[in-house]
Structure 1
Amino acid sequence: MPDTSRPTPLYHLYTGASALLAPFAWRKVAQRLGAYGVTPERQRERLGHATLPRPNGQLIWFHAASVGESLSVLTLIARLGEMRPEAEFLITSGTPTSAELIEKRMPPRCRHQFPPLDSRAAVDRFLAHWQPDLGVFVESELWPQMVVRARATGCPLVLLNARMSDRTVNAWVKRPDTAGFILSQFNLFVTQNQKTADNLRRMGAAPDRIRPGSNLKAVSAPLPVDQTTLQQMQTALGDRPLWVASSTHAGEEETVLAAHAQILKTLPDACLLLVPRHPDRGDTVETLIRDAGLTLARRSGGEMPTAQTHVYLADTLGEVGTWYALCPRVFMGGSLLEIGGHNPFEPAQLGATVLTGPGYFNFAESYAEMIAEGAAFEAANAEAIAARVTTWLGQSTELEVACAAATAYIARQSDHLDKTAAALIELLPAA
């Protein structure tokens, strides 16, 4: 049985190497933040120098890697704030983009800082200032010294929304003493799915500290909807049959356009609202549409669809919530190739049912549940996509049942949110 009570030689090797490499890591990080326009003062947050005072009272610290992980906890923080009106919150995330978005959407009594580099000096400086009463690490963002040194202060720790790749799990399993030591620092693991719970046990986590949960993205606040744009699109499209293909990648639009060509044979006035994952591919996607013999209008050019528009190319950022509110038939890209799929909860939160290709491994358990409940459907090629969309366009009853199932699935996830919030509150020291 591995001894998890003390640091291992590998951990000591890591701490020594991090001390040597810290100046080089700092130089690289500072350059990257500076290139984005982050001030020198805020850059020094990566060295543990706080730019905000610590608030009075209990402080719950959330650490996340990037945009998706950071935004996924905002709804949980808001719920915790309702349950504990005296609590204060800190979010740390490493990317300028995540910092920008978090600061626009933060709930009350919340603030953002960049996290310290994983060196002893930076981490200790950070902890000495903020003195968190509870630390919550989101998804797979585990920095050994940050974890170990935070726990050494007496701060209870949680790994929330935990998920790990098979490669990461296999690497840790080969080092059972170190894996057990790092995992022993956590008081609680809340996993996205049963597979991650099983993997944590393999890695040496105490079974009584593991609690399977759900994906926090399922309970995030719905995407914003611009009512003016929504009404303009409804007027422009009228009663035309409409479907959305969202977050498509290079190599997927050809299949989506082939599906739409088949749909047009049955429903010649149908319109496809195509939303590339990366809007800067707009010119490339326009060429694909024209090569397919289809007409288009482009959102980035300020155009609106007309009666002659086969495809409306929505090559802009920040409007996808409006498109989901406009149309309840959504194909989610990133799934026809081995990309891993994209978030099915966002369309479902706005009342839409979801169609996906087979490559949705990043959301495997959630999609499996939604498919089993009739809230989502799988289609592997253009023919299958066309068949499902044509059915939805022609049979309102079947579409209504699917949308209702998607709405019911999302509603059930709020129970997980309340249970997770309650579990975190239980770990807070007595005030």
Structure 2
Amino acid sequence: MFGTSGIRGRIGDEVTAELALAVGRAVGSEGYDRVVIGRDVRESGSMLVDAIVAGLCECGSDVLTVGVESTPTIARAVARLKADAGVVVTASHNPETDNGIKLWNPSGKAFGSAQREAIERRVRQDEYELAAWNGVGSRHRRDGVRESHVKTLRKSVSLERSPSVIVDVGNGAGGVTASVLDDLGCRVRTLNGQEDGSFPGRPSEPTAETLETLSTLVEQTNAELGIGHDGDADRMLAVDESGTFVPKDALLALFAREAAGNGDRVAAPVDTSLAVDDALADVGASVTRTQVGDVYVAARTTEADVVFGGEPSGAWIWPEETLCPDGPLAACKLVELVASRGPLSDLVAEIDRYPIRRTSVEVEDKAAVMAEIEDRVTERYDEIDTLDGVRIETADGWFLLRASGTQPLIRVTAEARSESDADALFEDAQTVITESHAAKSEGSNSDG
């Protein structure tokens, strides 16, 4: 039911009001007595919020509703409103047909695996602690959470000057970014600033392709950088002053290098580029790799010497601020960096870029194929990491084989410091999949 990013799927199919009611009941039954809830701009979110609130109240929880806000705004409000948990109804960067539910702790960290499993068990077993008639919870509206977020963000940065910035809100809930940058004295223009859950301006996920209009506008208006958010603004990606999309790993390396010093560690998933390792080595820091998913990155940032965590998808975590990926905070940090260090293109040019190859291979039984893959690479390679899929380190680079969480695919990534080595590793990785898939198919046929 839960993925690493909560519950997410198509409205009327995987995600329904019935499911939302059950999740509300489960959260209330687990003893979360005071719960903050809000949603992104999708219209289906209104009915899901109502269903979750009903389930919470039915099991004795008091509920504080905050309306349509960005995910980091809502996640930060949990502690400020002295609540035990938070619920955000959002499908984040998914298409307009989808919606979802993500649960938050007061620290800003999403519910961990044990918490998710407890909720899922209650839903699957239909096991709830319904309150008596005089013990049902109450519902109250709380305003001012966006203003509180803006105030916190203003304190998190100090600008030596006020760059000109264009913020592509993507018709989502990330208007808080434009508000705080304006308060900081920046010259701010917005793109796709009207909240609309059908995302008419561009698809919700910010990518080099979906941010093309932002890139053009930055180039034509002489803005110093452009910011792009997804539908709930937990992600932030950027374009430089020339309108060039900033590579995701380069952005991770910039943030990591700025946050870390000698002996520090930075949390990043197993598919992160060698460029991040090299950038951190320059300042005496290192990467500690996690499973793919911001919840795993956030968990690692709770360790004492981990000062920053990031995913190339656009999720950035400064643990001293919050354990929630905060796109508006990342935007402010990037503007601060440009204001103090100069053009974003120059900063990006300081980060090494290495050839990386990616593809997906369709398989019939991804779990069985992954098991065969692990057996085969164990025989052939010395440096193997099975934290999330199978990651093989060689003298020339690395490759990663991971099962897709939602499709019958094996994801393939290979990177090296030269084109020829990257091609060779990429070919080796695909050969491992082909051989493993064939072996499993032969085994299944012989069993039959």
TM norm structure 1 = 0.30
By percentage of residues, which structure has more helix?
1
Structure of greater Rg: 1
By percentage of residues, which structure has more strand?
2
